[in-house]
Structure 1
Amino acid sequence: MSDDGFIELDGVEKVFDVRRKAGFLRRERHRVRAVDGIGFRVGRGEMVGYIGPNGAGKSTTIKMLTGILTPSAGRLRVAGIDPSRERAGLAHRIGVVFGQRTTLWWDLPLRDSYGLVRRMYRVPEARYRANLDRCVELLDLGALLDVPVRQLSLGQRMRGDIAAALLHDPEVLYLDEPTIGLDVVSKAKVRGFLREVNAERGTTVLLTTHDLTDIEQLCERVMVIDHGRLVHDGGLAELHAAGESERTLVVDLERELPPIEDVPGARTVKVEGPRQWLAFGTGQSAAPIVAAVAERYPLVDLSVREPDIEDVIARMYAGGKGL
């Protein structure tokens, strides 16, 4: 069931005072506006992508939503609660995963870390056991429960962190780069698990990522922040259209050849020896382009690269769109 005001931001700002060296002994104070008048609503049960370049203000927004930071101005509510004033009460209703940092205990096995999480949140034993069993099954953690966190690979630890964030049945889950540095198999497991959690429990998910495939596979709605301002709020297709973004087919040929020019719907944008880069629109299927290249050229290998978020936003600005 949707609630348009489950997460609410109105004119939210966050300003930091930064001192910079301005001489041998002198420092000047500068005000850095990390978030600049952002406003949006997220309904209960929505899974929304929140994306943008490094330094755009994504993590600052997440920290304000969790109560770690207090807004400099504006109004912010999560489930009717002001996070910065009622941080302890809100903690039982939210889950947070920061891809660059773990919430697990480094020297303890996963099982013991989870036991500590249960005690921190006072999760009833039956509920904890059911949630843990479900997470272990969907995230393939069974063989890792007795392994110290420090011995886990990045992908294993990330799956462990996501499970820890959900053991207390949070109503909302904030994910900051949850697939960063993961291999293809680990990414697939994480994405599949998040779809299950959202569908089965109605957990609201706000996802920040640099991987547009995360957004494509998980979110129907995407918000783009840049220089602290919201520049897009809508579907991913609309974002690609606004940014006139393109996918890239990277082709490795048996030998160096002139630029490929006879493949409809694609154009060669770069050639380095036997490797060529072909650009085509995000709305196009890669299949006919791949088939045409394979039929006409001595193909060794190929891969499809999705557009970088930074490139999409740069194109939006270049065209004066989304502002």
Structure 2
Amino acid sequence: MDKVIDVQSLRKDFKSHSSRSGLKGAFRDLFTRNYKVISAVNDISFTVNEGEMVGYIGENGAGKSTSIKMLTGILTPTSGTVRVNGMDPHKEREKFVSSIGVVFGQRSQLWWDIAVQESFRLLKKVYNVPDDVYNDHMNHVIESLDIGPLLDKPVRKLSLGQRMRCELAAALLHNPKLLFLDEPTIGLDVLVKLKIRNFLKEINEKYKTTILLTTHDLTDIEALCERVVMLDEGQIIYDGKLAKLRSNWGEGKQIEFQFGEQVSLENLQPLLTELQAEWTKGDRDNVWIANVVNEEHVISEVIGRVVAANRITDIKIHEISTEEIIRNIYEEGVING
């Protein structure tokens, strides 16, 4: 398979002003300043092949946005190499941008005061898309995203969900080989999210479009991506299959108990003595969750002890969610993929 993204030993450092303390220090800062170097991205390497849909995840400040900006040519690396679609993004900028599509959830590439279709026509000129190619491709995109009724409306009059569907259409107007998505479903309702996810699957299958998805909504990752790249403090801590991540770190179960009266952790804790389980508070009144290993005898024992000691109105057993797994990984420290 062709490598669409090839990153080797990529690093980005920023100089940060460090203020001295006290009045004397502030006076000295007027003449000489102290600086410290902060590595936002610290020697990362990974590749993405044609047609892959990869989730690019991490906590705020992990280095996601900085590395995406280097991949799209906005920032120049301090060291290391970046090849995207066979080009150096910041050195071959004009040729490079015509081979990628970008959707940033917080930024718009559509003109605010003109009709959506006028923005599309302007972008068609920018990318030099032939009329026949534009008509064939965009008719399919407009129909799939259900934005036909929106084409004559100014962008400022669209809802967030309507605008994001139009933003996605604009990013795909020139049918790029690679699509960068940064929080594409932020703030959207469930139906709009489903429409966007189904469309992304469709273009991936039809055109082999490679997609790098950055999001905090892990349901997007689960719905679209087989592979995840996880960052922490500027370094990659996991690069592999989502299924492997779940099997290695998510083998437990969560037993959700709805209690008939108020209970406390002090009352519940003795019930799990000598069992591989621990309690967490649920998100509703009188709900507690026992996190247990995925072994039948342990699950049965936990349920038996809790039911014998308390009045229970409901019990549910869940697989540990991807969100829970990833939160545990960040809380417990770096892992090796």
Normalised to the residue count of structure 1, the TM-score between the two structures is 0.83
1:258 Cα deviation from its structure 2 partner: 4.1
Deviations 1:21-43 (A, max 9, x none): 33434142221111111111111
Change over 3 Å in CA distance of 1:226–1:112 after alignment to 2: same
Q: Distance in 1 between matches of 2:118 and 2:234?
A: 39
Q: Which residue of 1 is the match for residue 202 of structure 2?
A: 196
Aligned length: 310
Pairwise mapping of residues 109-258 of structure 1 onto structure 2 (< 5 A)? 109-244=115-250, 256-258=261-263
Taking a change above 3 Å as real, the CA distance of residues 112 and 272 of structure 1, as seen in their structure-2 partners, is: closer
* Partner SS for 1:216: helix
- SS for the counterpart of 1:307 is helix
Alignment of structure 1 residues 21-36 onto 2, 5 Å? 21-22=19-20, 23-25=25-27, 26=29, 27-36=33-42
Letter in 2 for 1:11: S
Matches of 1:321 and 1:140 in 2, distance apart? Answer: 42
Equivalence for 1:104: 110
Match of 2:51 among 15, 40, 45: 45
Identity %: 45
Match of 1:83 in 2: 89
| 3-state secondary structure, aligned to 1:313 | helix
Letter in 2 for 1:78: V
Larger Rg: 2
1:68 aligns to 2:82 (yes or no): no
Alignment-mate amino acid for residue 98 of structure 2: H
1:8 to 1, 6, 9: 6
1:67-109 alpha-carbon deviations (Å, 9 max, x no partner): 1111110111012211110011011100011111111111122
Q: Tell me what 1:322 maps to.
A: 336
Among 270, 289, 294, the residue aligned to 2:281: 270
Q: Report the alpha carbon displacement of residue 130 of structure 1 after superposing the two structures with TM.
A: 2.0
**Separation in 2, partners of 1:80, 1:273:** 52
Distance 1:65 1:230 in 2: 15
Q: Go from structure 1 to structure 2 and tell me whether the alpha carbon gap of 1:245 and 1:224 turns closer, same or farther (over 3 Å shift).
A: farther
- State the alpha-carbon separation in 2 of the partners of residues 71 and 37 from structure 1: 11
Where 2:323 maps in the other structure, the secondary structure is coil
- 1:256 shift after superposition: 3.7
Task: Please report how far the alpha carbon of residue 10 of structure 1 lies from its aligned counterpart in structure 2 after TM superposition.
Answer: 0.7
**Distance of aligned partners of 1:68 and 1:270 in 2 relative to their CA distance in 1, 3 Å threshold:** same
Deviations 1:45-65 (A, max 9, x none): 111111111111111111111
User: How far does residue 321 in structure 1 lie from its aligned partner after superposition?
Assistant: 2.5
Please say if residues 316 and 322 of structure 1, whose CA atoms lie closer than 8 Å, have aligned partners that are also in contact. no
In structure 1, stretches of 5+ residues that fail to align are none
Deviation at 1:6, TM superposition (A): 2.3
Shift of 1:199: 0.6
Aligned AA (2:51): G
Q: 1:48 touches 1:220 (CA, 8 Å); kept in 2?
A: yes
Partners of 2:159 and 2:325 in 1: CA distance: 27
Q: CA RMSD in A?
A: 3.4
State the alpha-carbon separation in 2 of the partners of residues 283 and 112 from structure 1.
Answer: 56
Unaligned runs of 5+ in 2: 304-310
Residues 253 and 318, structure 2, Cα contact 8 Å, conserved in 1: no
Verify the 8 A CA contact 2:197 2:224 in the aligned structure 1: yes
Secondary structure of residue in 1 paired with 2:191: helix
Letter of the 2:26 counterpart:
F
CA distance, structure 2, for counterparts of residue 229 and residue 203 of structure 1: 26
Q: Is the 8 A contact 1:247 1:306 kept in 2?
A: no
Secondary structure in 2 matching 1:89: helix
Q: Structure 1: how far apart are the matches of 2:120 and 2:324?
A: 36
CA contact (8 A) 2:278 2:292 kept: no
User: Deviation at 1:297?
Assistant: 5.0
Q: Distance in 2 between matches of 1:173 and 1:198?
A: 10
Instruction: Report the Cα offset of residue 272 of structure 1.
Output: 7.3
2:336 is matched by which residue type in structure 1?
Answer: G
After TM superposition, the score normalised by the length of structure 2 is 0.80
Q: Separation in 1 of the partners of 2:211 and 2:327? A: 25
Instruction: Read off the aligned partner of 1:141 and give its amino acid letter.
Output: I
- 1:274 Cα deviation from its structure 2 partner: 3.0
